[in-house]
Structure 1
């Protein structure tokens, strides 16, 4: 997917990118490739693949929810900024918080945000477990996203405590897994969530499958969650 194809594909979904936004995506790609030589940000480096599998894939979340209003989104384990930075470029009014456990990635994102001249992006070097226990952030976000950083039962414990009541957690997955969903049901329930639906779509050009699991926060998460760093992965809720 070339940049022009990316622009056209989003236009078909009612998202019209300006010349400024297209320039921001071009800068994003340049920074990603430059910094990827110094640290491991992504295995996907061809321009056409980055625009398809990172940029389009990230913005596709907007096909499932309204991001055009003044909302607060937290991206857990964002890595190189996906999906939150592409969403921020497309929806400048979105207030974005990114938390990542690797300080090198936060350094990259700080430089990227400055280069893209983005306001309303807040970057934190922290573990999701401790971040979710911080009163400043707990239960404060309309939307929380995580893009394939762990199995769903673990992701739910890392992300749902950050969602405000009636807000949503979006788990972005490359593959459908009924087993993973069944495994996560106890965690979703115990943490105050309600599974709403799973949206599936195929990427243009490649036809690769993508899945978005949508979980709404209907009750406050018990105070003991998330547990200490490392515990959710070692002892997932059953």
Structure 2
């Protein structure tokens, strides 16, 4: 275990998260696969090893600082890209059944390869538009926890993610420092999609510039109306704003 892994372990320990040697090894495999595949396709602009551990791995795990992951059975990650935050969360909390939805098949191929390399079970990587996948009965109103990290502005993002969230389930939108206007603009979409804004939880990434992070917690109180989501492309082009 080198200094980067030691710091990673210590930083998680400060959040009462214990990481095993096997889990540390999985994160190291993750890093190497990410960098290897990044040479063939655009997965991340962050390639420095220490930055990957802080700005991708630690950042992804920040969801677990504010959510009791032991109570989460099924999780959906919408627009996951290179697997953030769902794969780091799956590594640390292997009991969770994870569904990842992404519209780019090359990213799905990477994620399927990655989960096999990491020895992860019960990770379902789905190629398709969130608007279409959310119409399928096996995904609609089904997930305890839904996440989206740096995907889109909240008024449009709500329509992509809340249809996956079960009644009384939680959608966590992972944002940077500037989120208040998005939140203000999202009130109509929340009402239409039968959800409420609960609170924001904030943190700074350790030893990182531009490190402010804000996790917006939304709670769904009723099944998604039949009208939503609208056809693919519409939620982000014409978000629900009044």
TM tier, shorter chain? over 0.9
8 Å CA contact 1:171–1:214 kept in 2: the answer is yes
How large is the RMSD of aligned CA atoms in angstroms? 1.0
Alignment-derived partner of residue 215 in structure 2: 212
- Aligned equivalents of 2:36 and 2:146: distance in 1? 28
Provide the residue aligned with 2:79 in structure 1: 77
CA distance in 2, matches of 1:30, 1:234: 36
Of 200, 219, 233, 1:230 maps to: 233
Q: 5+ residue gaps in structure 1?
A: none
Residue among 120, 123, 128 paired with 1:121: 123
The separation in 2 between residues aligned to 1:104 and 1:120, in whole angstroms, is 20
Alignment of 1:84-95 (within 5 A): 84-95=86-97
**Match of 2:196?**
194
Question: Is contact 1:72-1:94 (8 Å) kept?
Answer: yes
**Aligned partners of 2:178 and 2:217: how far apart in 1?**
13
For residues 135 and 33 of structure 2, what CA distance do their matches in structure 1 show? Answer: 33
Please state whether the residue corresponding to 2:82 is helix, strand or coil: coil
- Measure, in 2, the Cα distance between the counterparts of 1:157 and 1:123: 20
Distance 1:212 1:138, change over 3 A: same
Distance, in Å, in 1 between the alignment partners of 2:72 and 2:65 is 17
* Alpha-carbon separation, structure 2, partners of 1:19 and 1:106: 27
Residues paired across the two proteins, number? 238
List, as ranges, runs of 4+ consecutive aligned residues in structure 1 with deviation greater than 3 Å. Answer: none
TM-score (norm 2): 0.96
Q: TM-score, normalised by structure 1?
A: 0.98
State the alpha-carbon separation in 1 of the partners of residues 237 and 92 from structure 2. Answer: 37
- The residue number in structure 1 matching 2:177 is 175
Residue of structure 1 in register with 2:151 after alignment: 149
